[in-house]
Amino acid sequence: MYVCVCNVVSDKAIKQAVQQGHESFEAIQRELAVGTCCGRCKPFAQEVIRQCVDQQQERLPAFFTPAFA
Give the residues lining the site for ligand FES (CB under 6 A): 4-7, 35-41
C-beta closer to ligand FES: residue 52 or 65: 52
Smallest separation, CB 9 to ligand FES (Å): 7
- DSSP for 8-67, written as a single string: TEEHHHHHHHHHTT--SHHHHHHHH-TTSSS-TTHHHHHHHHHHHHHHHHHTS-GGGS-T
C-beta closer to ligand FES: residue 7 or 16: 7
C-beta closer to ligand FES: residue 38 or 60: 38
